[in-house]
Each structure stands twice: as C-alpha cells, then as structure tokens.
Amino acid sequence: MEGGNRTIIIGVVTFGKGEEKSKFMATSNWPKLGPASYFPSIEKKYGKSIADWQAIIHTCGKQKHMEIVTYLKSEHAMGHGHANALVGWTLAGNHAG
C-alpha cells in the first residue's frame, strides 16, 4: 500500500459482444490537488484504471509529453486536461498501485 493508497475493484467493463472483460479498478485516496486529482474521473469516464492507462502510455511508441497527449486524444478520445494530467504524472516517474 504505497503512499497510503488502496486499490478497490468497483465493477467490470464489458467490451464488444461481451467476449472481453476487464476489471475496472479505482484507487482511493488520490490527492485532492495536482494531476492525480483527475484520476477518479479518468477511471470513471474512460473505464480503465490508471495502471491500464500507464501501460498504454508506455507502449504507444511516443516519447515526448505532447506527442503522448495528442495520441491519447486522437486514439482514445481522451480530453486534453485528462491526457495532460495522466502523461505528466506518468512521465514524472509515478506508478499507480
């Protein structure tokens, strides 16, 4: 339990024809200020955990902050503020637990 955060499963998201299922996880106790304050709404709106988004960031083939933000916006329909917060936090070396 790094930094006092706890991970709790709050539902299951079904994709396509019900063939693929992914656990939707939310981390409680995210900071109320800074980039991580966006994380509960990112998880709720897009149906992926922050750890899932970090995996996407690390495997997207982009290196620069704004390249990754643009990728998330164009390929995953993520809003600019959400993408910017997630990329900035991830590139700063933070990891979702």
Note the pLDDT of residue 37.
84
Cβ count near 39 (within 10 Å): 22
96 is a domain residue: no
Please enumerate in sequence order all residues whose Cβ is within 8 A of that of 33, keeping only pairs 6 or more positions apart, or say none.
Answer: none
59 is a domain residue: yes
Question: Whole-model pTM?
Answer: 0.68
Portion of the chain with pLDDT greater than 90, in percent: 58
pLDDT tens per residue, range 73-86: 999 999 999 999 99
Note the pLDDT of residue 48.
94
The Cα diameter of the chain in Å comes to: 38
Higher pLDDT pick, 10 / 50 = 50
Total domain count, the chain: 1
Domain region containing 7: 2-91
97 is a domain residue: no
